[in-house]
Amino acid sequence: MDQPIHQFSDLFAQLGLPADEPAIRLFIATHSPLRSDIELADAPFWTDSQAAFLKEEKLEDADWAELVDQLNLALRG
C-alpha cells in the first residue's frame, strides 16, 4: 500500500487552522456532529476559501481527497 502524501494534520494546516493534535481534537469536538443533510464543504464554519478548497479537492479526487473524507467522517461521529 502506498504511503499517504499528506497527514491529517497537514489538511488542517492547508485550511489555515491550527494543526497540532489538541487543536484538531478541539475543532472536531466543537463542530461535531455535522448534520447528515449538510455537505462537508457547505458547513457554516468554513470560510469561502476553505469551502472552495474542500469542494475542489473532493471533486478532482486530488491528493487531499482521502483526508477530506476522513475529516468528513470525523465530523459526523
CATH code for the domain in which residue 31 is found: 1.10.10.1130
Residue 1 lies in a domain: no
Number of domains comprising the chain: 1
Find the domain containing 59 and state its range.
8-76
- 2 falls within a domain: no
Q: Stretch 14-29: mean pLDDT, rounded?
A: 98
pTM over 0.85: yes
Beta-carbon-side half-sphere exposure of residue 66 (alpha carbons within 13 Å): 10
| Residue 3 belongs to some domain of the structure | no
* Residue 36 grid coordinates: 447528515
**Whether pLDDT at 4 is above 80:** no
Instruction: Tell me the pLDDT of the chain averaged across its residues.
Output: 94
How far, in whole angstroms, is CA 25 from its chain's centroid? 12
Evaluate whether residue 22 is within a structural domain: yes
